[in-house]
Amino acid sequence: MSREEIRAAVLHALGEVAPEADLAALRPDVPFREQLDLDSMDVLNFIIGLDQALKVAIPESDYPRIATLSSCVAYLEAKVSAGSSFVR
């Protein structure tokens, strides 16, 4: 899966929890929670969306690593390319 495909999956999952958001204007290095007014339930639903789309295991301890668009895409890219041992 390419970086662009992962990015698209992240934006799709965000759109599910914040449908009114202008995702094209999302700043890549600012936390989602600050930009999109996400609460803890939204964050959980976002991660469920990533889980369903990418089949990648994201432990709770890694949540800080997916706080921004840039870090989230990089984290998921590493997970996907690391192979099946990391994939759910």
Partner 1 sequence: MSEFRMPSLGADMAAGTLLEWLKQPGDRVARGDLIAEVDTDKGVIQVEAFTTGTLERILVEPGQKVPVGTVMALIRDDAVTAPAAAPPGAGPPAAGPLPQRVSPLARRRAQELGVDLASIQGTGAEGAVTVADVERLARGAIMPTATPAVDDSAARMRGAIGAAMARSKREIPHYYLSNTIDLGPAMAWLAEQNQSRPVADRLVAAALLLKSVALALRDFPELNAWWVNDRAVRQPSINLGVAVSLRQGGLIVPALEAADQASVDELMRRLTDLVARAKGGALRASELASGTLTVTSLGDRGVDIVLGVIYPPQVALVGFGRIAERPWVVQGAVLPRPVVSVSLSADHRVTDGHRGALFLDRIDQLLREPGAL
Residues that bind partner 1 (CB under 8 A): 15-16, 18-20, 33, 37-41, 44-45, 47-48, 51, 58-61
Q: Whose Cβ is closer to partner 1: residue 6's or residue 38's? A: 38
Q: In whole angstroms, how close is the CB of 80 to partner 1 at the nearest point?
A: 16
Diameter over CA atoms, the chain: 36
**Which region, left, alpha or beta, applies to residue 26 given φ > 0 means left and ψ of -120 to 50 means alpha?**
beta
Helix, strand, or coil (residue 56)? strand
Say if residues 18 and 36 touch (Cβ distance below 8 Å).
yes
Q: How far is the CB of 8 from partner 1 (least distance, A)?
A: 14
- Closest by CA position to 6, among listed 69, 86, 81, 77: 77
Nearest approach, Cβ of residue 83 and partner 1 (Å): 20
Q: Which is nearer to partner 1, 15 or 71 (CB)?
A: 15
Q: Which of 27/88 has CB closer to partner 1?
A: 88
